Structure formats: structure tokens, C-alpha cells
Amino acid sequence: MKINIVHVDTCLTAYWGGHHLPFVQVPVYRGVTMQELRASIRGEINEGAIGGSTDDARLLADAVNGPEEQRRADRLHRAALAGVKRLRPAKPKRRKLFLDLDESPDDDCADTVYAFFILEVVE
């Protein structure tokens, strides 16, 4: 089993339409590094903060019933973390990401922009 982590959108949460496949959302800002992005995605996966309406999304979100589902959930979790390791920027050798975002203002009133990633399960 393999899971590909695929960036599908960057927006405010009010504009995210959702997805049926397992997905995570992580806050991003102009100049975030790949290392920081991977750490954020890993954190969401480890916390079980997975959206989506498939059985795999439910299992990744730790909604497990019984030993068979637990084994699949464990395999999915390991595959998702391996997918995060394989995640690369769209433009090779780019050190800073999301450079098209505006600079963050210094006040706390600004809305947080999120990057949304689906977890594409390949059997």
C-alpha cells in the first residue's frame, strides 16, 4: 500500500469545499519551508485530524472498530507518513514555498490561510 500526498488547494477554510478522499489541512504562510510543511502534515496525521468521507478517511482519523480495521488503520498510518517523506515542492530545489501569498500582517486579526492535501491511497 502506498499513499501519495497531493496538494489540492490553498485558501481560507470558508472557501474549502471539502473532499471525499482523506485530507488534511495545515496553516501556511509566505516563505514556509518544506521541512516545516512536512512537520505540520505529519502532526495532523499523527493527531488523526483527517477529513473526508471514505472508510480510509475514517480509519486514518482513528475511528476503528475491531482488530481487522486496526491493522488496516496502522498500515494506512505508516503509508501516510511515508507519503509525507516523499512530498516534494512543485518546483525542484525551491527552499521557500507559497511565495504567492501576501506577507502576514503583524496583527492577530488576519485570517489564516490553509493548504489542503488529499491522501491518495494506492493499493
* Structural domain span for residue 86: 2-122
Q: What would the mean pLDDT of 101-107 be, rounded to a whole number?
A: 73
pLDDT at 116 > cutoff 90: yes
Q: What is the mean pLDDT of residues 46-75?
A: 94
**Joined grid coordinates for residue 32:** 514556509
Task: State the cell numbers at 6.
Answer: 497531493
Measure CA of the first residue to CA of the last residue in the chain; give whole Å.
Answer: 5
pTM above 0.85, yes or no: yes
- The structural domain count of the chain equals 1
Specify the DSSP element, H or E, that contains 11: strand 2-11
- What is the rounded average pLDDT of the residues 27-46? 96
